[in-house]
Amino acid sequence: MKTFPMFLQMAGRHVVIVGGGEQAAQKARLMLKTEARLVLLAPELDPELAALVAERRAEQVKTLSIEVFKDAALVFVATGCVGLDYAVHALAKDAGALVNVVDRPALCDAVTPSIVDRDPVVVAISTEGTAPVLARQIRAKMETLLEPGLGGLAELAGRLRPEVARCIPQRERRFFWDWVFSGPPRAAMARGATREAAALVKATLANGSARTAQGSIALVGAGPGAADLLTLRALRLLQDADIIYYDRLVDPAVLELARRDAERVFVGKEVGACSWPQDRINAVIVAAAKQGQKVVRLKSGDPGVFGRLTEELDAAHSAGIPIEIVPGVTAASAASASLGRALTERGATDRLMLATATCKPGDPDPDWCAMLQPGTTLAIYMGVKKASCLTQSLQKAGVPMGLEVEIVSNASTAREMQARCRLGHLPDVLTRENITNPAIIFIRWPKQAVARAQTAA
């Protein structure tokens, strides 16, 4: 290593930033995250820096002297002038300060890393100036791994450390802290449930052990297919899971993002193959959680949109298992994005209806006619097999057969197919183009179509 990573104590110390422009402001933004006192050395300051001085978050010094650099924790030089940068660097070095001169690596004692800030958890990434873009890419990856609430959990752990030493036997402490940072407390903090996380930790402290703590269930939306459409929370839960129960439509690329040693159990329904009834799925996810495992129930799209979510929620609640819902990108959103258009359009379609053509066995088909009114975009999930019935019902109700229809199958995946037609031609187009489920059928009935018809009449 040419540079040695180290964290500097900033409380009660001052940082000098030389310069009054944008580069100086960038360093000021960074240092404002610390407890250091900021000294801005420049005869004139841009509006952002001047505001910091006016708010007493920094002080301004207009005259350059060696005295201002004495005992400084760090000096940033960002004048934008080559000659002045060298002169300030020499003066600061004479004062014994650590110096960083912006865009001049040869003059830098200290290098500013890419930072992932989850105060008090801080990750610093450096490539020693060789590949800043790579450092930013690594930082982006770390941002996905460390949820925003992680710092709050670390602070809670720090406050409770004396109580842990008092209540938890030494041989149990490693297991306890692993449970805090890998189990339900971290999951609760990740979804913003600060009080719940604290209550879980304190209740376990009162019991004197975490080994009897049960697991948890997360109902996670895998999105429409493309792995990079996963939410950050979904990715974190997949990487923490002990066991993953996944549906047929979950793309294999999504499962590749899961922890390598996590058990994977397929619970989908294949045509002609043995299927998992819902009550069996409910039973196995609850049983796994009762054994202390972190369970992810991975569903395609968004689990709250036609995903049998309520039944699995009820099973977990009845068993007293902690459970959370992680939304995913629903297929209608992905399909609309693939088409390059919005789901709604101001002045044309200001109402969005989501409907499924796959209902509970024995239930009647949805009332398509009630859903599709002027000013509506109707998005029908899994509707390919019901296309003829759908078209006939709408025609009998007087819906114009000339309405625009767009179909997207396997949205966001390499298997994606698209087709466009008029409503009256929908069944024929699906057959001709060999489009199958999973698919979204969009039927748009803009307000303008009604207005034109009334004008023509």
Residue 117 pLDDT: 93
Q: Helices 170-182 & 150-167, crossing angle to 10 degrees?
A: 160
Q: What is the mean pLDDT of each run of 10 residues along the chain (457 residues)?
A: 88 96 95 95 96 96 95 95 94 95 90 91 89 91 89 94 91 85 87 90 84 80 94 90 93 92 84 71 94 92 92 94 94 96 94 89 85 96 94 94 96 95 96 95 86 46
307 lies in the same domain as 349: no
Tally the domains of the chain. Answer: 4
Say which CATH number the domain at 396 has.
Answer: 3.30.950.10
239 lies in the same domain as 200: no
Closest CA to 198 of 158, 138, 249, 258: 158
In a domain, 441, yes or no: yes
In a domain, 172, yes or no: yes
Residue 268 pLDDT: 80
By the 8 A CB rule, do 378 and 442 touch?
yes
In a domain, 119, yes or no: no
Q: What does the block give as tokens for 55?
A: 């708010």
Range of the domain at 187: 147-213
CA distance 262 to 243: 5
CA distance 166 to 161: 9
In a domain, 136, yes or no: no
Amino acid sitting at position 414: A
344 lies in the same domain as 406: yes
Segment holding 223, helix H or strand E: none
Domain end (from 213, 229, 254) = 213
75 lies in the same domain as 153: no
62 is catalytic: no
Eight-state DSSP code of residue 365: P
CA distance 415 to 411: 8
Residue 362 pLDDT: 77
452 lies in the same domain as 338: yes
In a domain, 83, yes or no: yes
Catalytic residue (choose from 94, 269, 314, 428): 269
218 lies in the same domain as 325: yes
In a domain, 132, yes or no: no
CA distance 197 to 179: 12
3-state secondary structure of 202: helix
Say which CATH number the domain at 303 has.
Answer: 3.40.1010.10
Residue 455 pLDDT: 45
196 lies in the same domain as 253: no
The set of residues, in sequence order, having a beta carbon less than 8 Å from that of 225 and lying 6+ positions away, is: 249, 251, 300, 334, 410, 411, 412, 413
In a domain, 22, yes or no: yes
In a domain, 390, yes or no: yes
CA distance 306 to 221: 12
Domain end (from 329, 349, 374) = 329
Residue 452 pLDDT: 54
Distances (CA, A) of 275 to 130, 244, 268, 278, 281: 54, 17, 7, 9, 10
The number of beta carbons lying within 10 Å of the beta carbon of residue 445 is 23
Q: What does the block give as tokens for 199?
A: 């209550």
| Predicted TM-score (pTM) of this structure | 0.68
Class of residue 6 by CB neighbours under 10 A (exposed 0-12, middle 13-18, buried 19+): exposed
Report CA 340 to chain centroid distance, whole Å.
Answer: 23
2 is catalytic: no
pLDDT tens digits, residue range 363-374?
888 898 999 999
321 lies in the same domain as 236: yes
- What strand order describes the sheet that includes 439-445? 351-356, 376-381, 439-445, 404-409, 417-422
Read off φ and ψ for residue 399, nearest 5 degrees.
-70, 135
Cα R_g (the chain), whole angstroms: 30
The single residue listed with the structure tokens 């960083």 is 100
172 lies in the same domain as 201: yes
Domain end (from 213, 240, 260) = 213
Say which CATH number the domain at 70 has.
Answer: 3.40.50.720
Catalytic residue (choose from 240, 247, 251, 302): 247
pLDDT tens digits, residue range 14-27?
999 999 999 999 99
339 lies in the same domain as 381: yes
- What strand order describes the sheet that includes 263-266? 263-266, 243-246, 294-299, 216-221, 323-326
Torsion angle in degrees (nearest 10) through CA of 106, 109, 114, 115: -170
280 lies in the same domain as 366: no
451 lies in the same domain as 339: yes
